[in-house]
């Protein structure tokens, strides 16, 4: 299984920005990176008016949308566990997971400021990305220090490059 590292934090803390910047940094280093994004709201890659939407609306439980450069499979089901999603991903040098804060993989907590409480320690937070000084105890990085954060993650997943 590919190494997994998480990005978590409160709403609007900068999780997606940090995740995207880390993906770009690891790709620059020659890594193959996959991502998993957990959303608490309904998300749909298919829209009314498209043929694949019509297939689902007609009752198909799974629709594969295939183009020359990519494909997506839309499946109607209850929310899968992170383990189920990870099992379906192709091998990668790293899987960055945005969200799934209660899952057991190591995570960096992104903080826009320190006005909100810390994410619980039992969520396996191993570092903080914040632009403000805070309590000691965990490694702390500025949110835009992508190189240092990537180095930290690489070391945590056993790749020091």
Q: What is the pLDDT of residue 22?
A: 97
Task: Give this prediction's pTM.
Answer: 0.86
Asked if residue 131 is part of any domain, the answer here is: yes
CATH number for 91: 3.40.50.300
Low-confidence ranges of the chain (pLDDT < 50): none
Residue 35 is part of which domain span?
Answer: 4-42+78-156
Rounded to whole angstroms, the Cα distance separating 15 from 143 reads 10
Asked if residue 110 is part of any domain, the answer here is: yes
Asked if residue 67 is part of any domain, the answer here is: no
Rounded to whole angstroms, the Cα distance separating 120 from 118 reads 6
Q: Report the Cα 125 to chain-centroid distance in Å.
A: 14
Provide the number of structural domains found in the chain.
1
Q: What is the pLDDT of residues 85-103, one digit of tens each?
A: 999 899 999 999 998 888 9
Asked if residue 34 is part of any domain, the answer here is: yes
Asked if residue 126 is part of any domain, the answer here is: yes
Asked if residue 51 is part of any domain, the answer here is: no
Residue length, the chain? 161
How many helices and strands in the chain, by DSSP H and E?
Answer: 4, 8
């Amino acid at each position: 299984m590919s190494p997994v590292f998480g990005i978590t934090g409160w709403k609007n803390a900068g999780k997606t920005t940090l995740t995207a910047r880390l993906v770009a940094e690891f790709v620059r280093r020659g890594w193959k990176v996959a991502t998993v994004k957990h959303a608490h709201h309904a998300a749909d890659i298919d829209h009314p008016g498209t043929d694949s939407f019509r297939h689902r609306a007609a009752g198909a439980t799974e629709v594969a949308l295939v183009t020359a450069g990519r494909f997506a499979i839309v499946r109607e089901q209850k929310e899968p566990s992170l383990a189920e999603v990870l099992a379906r991903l192709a091998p990668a040098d790293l899987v960055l997971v945005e969200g799934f804060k209660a899952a057991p993989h190591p995570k960096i907590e992104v903080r826009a400021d320190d006005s909100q409480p810390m994410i619980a320690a039992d969520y396996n937070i191993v570092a903080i990305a914040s632009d403000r000084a805070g309590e000691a105890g965990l490694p702390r990085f500025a949110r835009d220090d992508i190189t240092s954060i990537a180095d930290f993650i690489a070391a945590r997943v056993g790749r020091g490059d």
